[in-house]
Structure 1
Amino acid sequence: MKTLTIIDTFGFFFRNYFALPNLRNKDGFPTGLITGFANFIYSLRQEYETDYIFFALDAKGKNFRHEIDENYKANRPEAPEDLKKQLPVAISWIEKMGFKCFSQEGYEADDVIASAVRFAREHDIKVRIVSHDKDLYQLIGEGVVMYDPMKKLEIDRDLCYEKFGVYPENVRDYLALIGDSADNVPGVRGIGPKGAKKLLDEFVDVAHIYENLDKVLNPRTKTLLEEGKESAFLSLELVKLHASLDISDKFESFHFPKGQPLERIVDELEKYDMKAILSRLKYTPKQENKEPKNKFEPILLDTKEKLFEVIDSFQEENLIAFDTETTGLDVTKASIVGFSFAKDCTKAYYVPIAHNYLGVGEQVNKEDAKKAIEKIFTCRVVGQNLKYDFAIVKNNFGIEKKDHFMDTMLLAWLLNPERSIGLDALAKRFFDYEMVKFKDVVGKNQNFSHVALEDACMYASEDAWMSLKLYNKLS
């Protein structure tokens, strides 16, 4: 007997997202949903052989159930932002891997699935439905099971009864009585799962319950049923699955793709840092030449002439990364030692002002440094923790930058408030780059003014260069 696997696409994706809601790649993009999806596809052929497979989708816009009840699914909350970011990625993967999607205007995925089950039964094909949607339990029967990919469990008639207390043929009536808050199906107010089971055990279905209301012995239950009659029959229509859609001309296109489907999207798996899946595929990621990407030229501007030869060309529309080096962290007491800046990602500059050690070389005086910073501040400025740098500049030079600036620390925090937003951590996360450590440059019981100009140039200009790279990455 051949086998058809049907994926209840959005339900499956939602469950994957909530199983791994905090998973992200090195760029901070959420990856829980797509990671769960990739894991499922990898194991699909190994764990459960299938001849046919397709992904059932809800059609866009309203469907016929909204004509029955305009409040249908009206209470659903907005999906989490991280989930919405991943849905287009996951859906694009379906066809890239060689699978097929199917939707029908005016209908939901449940109706597509019910129609496929009808077709499969007519052609003696076993069906496995990958879903947790209780509406679909109606379809379980001879040759048709639900499948829980988390538990790797096939759900048949007996497990349906174990879960709900009713068999698949009674699930529709059961849901019509208890309602479904997720879909805004009203049910009969006051009738819960136990009450619904008891009524169905005695009267079989909703129609027979109402034909025999006089035989309902519990006065409260009888009253609830009388008051909820309209809701009961409305709900019965809302949870009914329509199996009339014609999929016969598409069925042969649902053949399972040859080979391992994930091998068709290895570039995407690399992009989203799915190293575990790539390892299982025995795929070796392409080795990038990291040196050109993470290489820049640090330039020491130790005279007025060198400094203004660079600065004089700056225009208001230019984007300049800016950073200061000081004698301490307390902005009320710290003195500026030098500043760095970068206009592009190929070179960065350091301007020494107040280094103080035996044999120190030429430096720019404070008056010329002030003029240079004033020139930089006419441009658009970016930096890491600019609040500190702006306070240093204000306290040391009386200069304020009030507009046209952006802090990479803030951009990183907005992207993911739970992860480290220090410059070293961000450089490692986004560029796999190791920054020069402060402790490796500044000796014990010393401050930055004691650092040799050449070492200071490398350390400080690197900060400005990385801040510019981060801004370009995060903005």
Structure 2
Amino acid sequence: MEVHLVDGTYELFRHFFGAPPHLTADGREVGATRATVGSVLRMLEEGVTHVGVATDHVIESFRNDLWPTYKDGSGIDPALTSQFPLLEEVLEAAGICTMAMVEHEADDALAAMALRAAEDDAVERVVICTPDKDLAQCVGGKVVQMDRRKGTTIDTAGVEEKYGVPPASIPDWLGLVGDSADGFPGLPGWGAKSAAAVLRAFGRIEDIPDDPAHWHVKVRSAGALSATLEERRAEAMLFKRIATLELDAPVPTSVEALRWTGPRDDFAAVAAAIDAPGLAERAEALAASR
């Protein structure tokens, strides 16, 4: 059995900027929702049996209390923001397991569900469908990460090749380098290559010696980097905390909750409300064939 876990928030953003817009008769923009749900249905049509979609029901999370500039949804086009709850409504009507996060984020749900699925003896592989850097920390064992847009999948070796560190060090790497998409800067002077070189030697921020003479790795401007880290190590640890995904996010207790068995009875009406009767037709035909 394979389990596919989809980053619904990422998919909604991707389709908002990539799919044709669509206004309903009452003036609602629904194009990204239509495209995202259609994309998940395509996965089912291609043979996926167990799928869960994680969403940000509320954009802000506990991380906003940790860092003032952490992403909070400001600046997002209202035509996109309005589709967050709409996407959840349509996914649920389609019979697709939807993990809507409030205190946590969609990424936390993906990480928590990936761990739960990997622990199930009946599961052979867990595919986390998102290109987000922070989800690379979940890769290993049964768990891989897929970029559906590019059609690429990476395992542990792929993470190391891409970022220069193993999955376990991804939060540390982000703590040093920062993540502009999430709104935290990392430490000045610490770039992707220098952070990877040092972390390959020590693994964790807290294990990096203050004295660069003890680093025993070739890295440019080691003295300046070590001085910055010594001065701002607490800040780096905070960024690591922000980048570390929470494995206690509220997700289904059983992998069977992700098995798709068909749409709800009201899916045709829900699909019609966003001018997408074809979604219901596809779901009904697929359910009849299984």
8 Å CA contact retained: 2:60, 2:71: no
Does the C-alpha gap of structure 1 residues 267 and 105 become closer, same or farther in structure 2, counting only changes over 3 Å? closer
Give 1:275 deviation, angstroms: 8.1
Match of 2:79 among 71, 77, 82: 82
Give 1:108 deviation, angstroms: 2.0
CA distance in 1, matches of 2:102, 2:264: 30
Structure 1 match to 2:92: 95
Structure 1 match to 2:196: 197
Match of 1:109 among 95, 106, 109: 106
CA distance in 2, matches of 1:199, 1:161: 14
Task: Calculate percent identity across the aligned residue pairs.
Answer: 26
Amino acid at match of 1:254: L
SS in 2 for 1:57: strand
Amino acid at match of 2:257: S
Deviations 1:141-198 (A, max 9, x none): 1111122222333232233234323232221111111011222223111211122122
8 Å CA contact retained: 2:57, 2:84: no
SS in 2 for 1:228: helix
TM-score by length of 1: 0.51
Give 1:59 deviation, angstroms: 5.5
In the TM superposition, 1:6-405 aligns within 5 A as: 6-20=5-19, 22-25=20-23, 27=25, 29-50=28-49, 52-58=50-56, 60=58, 63-73=61-71, 76-103=73-100, 106-124=103-121, 125=123, 126-210=125-209, 213-216=212-215, 218-245=222-249, 247=251, 249=253, 251-258=255-262, 261=263, 265-270=267-272, 272-274=274-276
Unaligned runs of 5+ in 2: 286-290
Give 1:201 deviation, angstroms: 2.7
Does the C-alpha gap of structure 1 residues 167 and 73 become closer, same or farther in structure 2, counting only changes over 3 Å? same
Give 1:92 deviation, angstroms: 1.0
8 Å CA contact retained: 2:212, 2:223: no
Aligned Cα root-mean-square deviation (Å): 3.1
Unaligned runs of 5+ in 1: 284-475
CA distance in 2, matches of 1:268, 1:60: 22
Structure 1 match to 2:288: none
CA distance in 2, matches of 1:25, 1:274: 12
CA distance in 1, matches of 2:261, 2:281: 21
Deviations 1:108-149 (A, max 9, x none): 222222221221222132211122221111001111112222
CA distance in 2, matches of 1:222, 1:160: 25
Give 1:40 deviation, angstroms: 0.9
CA distance in 2, matches of 1:266, 1:212: 65
CA distance in 2, matches of 1:211, 1:223: 8
Amino acid at match of 1:233: M
SS in 2 for 1:243: coil
Amino acid at match of 1:193: A
Does the C-alpha gap of structure 1 residues 276 and 48 become closer, same or farther in structure 2, counting only changes over 3 Å? same
SS in 2 for 1:138: helix
Does the C-alpha gap of structure 1 residues 107 and 38 become closer, same or farther in structure 2, counting only changes over 3 Å? closer
Give 1:72 deviation, angstroms: 2.9
Give 1:71 deviation, angstroms: 4.0
Amino acid at match of 1:181: S
Does the C-alpha gap of structure 1 residues 167 and 245 become closer, same or farther in structure 2, counting only changes over 3 Å? same
SS in 2 for 1:127: strand
Does the C-alpha gap of structure 1 residues 81 and 247 become closer, same or farther in structure 2, counting only changes over 3 Å? closer
